[in-house]
Chain A
């Protein structure tokens, strides 16, 4: 293992750790678990660093590793034993309508891992259907159906009439969010 390889890897991680953590946090809705997820991802990324650095888009490679790690983790017996479906993170909400946001957060947290990952890739990473399918290793049609099912599940969980009440809220929330797309992995 050459030192240049290690140096290159460390340099990459130092530059991307913050954005990887944010993506992991969005997937997990829990910063501590996000750190665990990133930790596992970085080990795997190091093992596959030859491929990652040779890839056209190393960030996309790292994102793929992280998303797969997230989905696999959620499948594991350990998580199924301790995870409370619908659990809401203890992080404070910052948007105005707390009830709506908490309901929404719980609804998204209750989604199966693959559906949640699909939503994150589509609506946080802003990937189109084809890119999303590449990351998840499935067909574009599956991405579309997973997205539709996930959104439908969220709508059901929020109950009727939530659109009229929260649409403006969501726009305000989006306005509050200051992240830029460019630093997303």
Chain B
């Protein structure tokens, strides 16, 4: 007789008064984007910039062609040819009251940051390209920037001239402010407004965008970027090619990064964002209260193992015809960890990486390291 009682109880709970939903779909979407962006492919600023580019195409007003050649050419120091992914490379010198950096990322050819209030989405999205990555498109009065993969290429059509930034001609491009921050290097600031029509009549937001751009700080004097784990004993061919981080009290906490070698190869047509083979994707951060490993999938072969004293789940499956292996630890010294690697013959498997090379540093950022590979 217990079964019908249990059924009745569950029905009663389900029909109870739950009050208004506190679930924030946009927050879930935002967090999901961050995870996708950084674990599926090295596409640091692509979603932000791709979305921005789409907005540019869709919303740019017919203000007549803007000829960038009419303004002063970018002079002075040259932009870096490559960025160091272990360094944020740029920081906000000014933001509107109550706003701060929330997250960002770096790879060799571009860096990106997002700032605002945690409750706001999206915030200000900054993308900075290394020298030679962006080129003016002469006929349309626009800009095209190339990322490390074809999926990261973005284009913008200038909507109108903006006040100069650092002595360089700047342009409105849809909901973006675009300008050369140094010789050969361009920056985009995606402005958190719905469309260019809104921005065109919002002089306050325009002023804020210009002020943010003018106060950006480039170079090494940026907030420290620290990692919750350190890789040891790897051959010198390995390097970290891109990093994503979250900001917390002025310190940048790396929570997602990718190891690559000269053998790593990008397949753009796998999944939504393409994949790298021979390139372990590492997600790691303090284990949340609801921390778990990826959901059960009948198509996935899962094994639960103890490695170095930590319980981990190792999964083997395939993505777009490429074998995929994943190691997940929901709680390892208080850290949640996920390593994914694609490819039939990975140079270093996820279990080997975890067992032999990854040293966890606990949950206290004071003990984390600025040198993720020793």
Contacts and interface: CB of A to CB of B under 8 A. Distances in A.
Interface of A: 1-3, 5-6, 9-10, 13-14, 17-18, 21-23, 25-26, 29, 31-32, 34-40, 42-51, 61, 64-65, 68-69, 71-73, 75-79, 89, 91-95, 100-101, 104-105, 108, 119-120, 123-124, 134-137, 151, 154-155, 158, 163, 166-167, 169-171, 173-174, 176-179
Contact of B22 (A32, A43, A137, A166): A32
6 contacts: A35-B23, A42-B32, A64-B296, A91-B13, A170-B8, A174-B4
A64 to B, nearest CB: 5
A173 B11 contact: yes
Contacts of B7: 123-124, 170, 174
A35 B23 CA distance: 6
A177 B289 contact: no
B263 interface: no
Nearest to A22: B14
Nearest to B18: A31
B290 A69 contact: yes
A167 B10 CA distance: 15
Contact of B291 (A17, A47, A72): A72
Nearest to B17: A91
A43 B35 contact: yes
Interface residues of B, number: 55
Nearest to A63: B295
Interface string B13-30: 111111101111101110
Contact of B32 (A25, A47, A120): A47
B204 interface: no
Contacts of B12: 93-95, 101, 173, 176-177
Given A72-B291, A119-B6, A5 B272 contact: yes
| CB-based closest 3 A-B pairs | A46-B32, A177-B11, A72-B292
Given A76-B289, A123-B6, A151-B6, A137 B294 contact: no
Interface of B: 1-19, 21-25, 27-29, 31-33, 35-37, 47, 50-51, 54, 271-273, 287-298, 302, 330-331
A184 to B, nearest CB: 8
Contacts of A92: 16
A17 B33 contact: no
Centre residue among B19, B28, B29, B290 by max chain A CB count within 10 A: B290
A73 B28 CA distance: 17
A166 B18 contact: no
Given A42-B28, A179-B15, A136 B290 contact: no
B10 A35 contact: no
B23 A39 contact: yes
A6 B29 contact: yes
Given A69-B290, A79-B289, 5 more contacts: A1-B33, A23-B14, A104-B5, A104-B6, A173-B8
A40 B296 CA distance: 16
Contact of B16 (A18, A31, A108): A31
A18 B25 CA distance: 12
B16 A25 contact: yes
B329 to A, nearest CB: 12
B13 A26 contact: yes
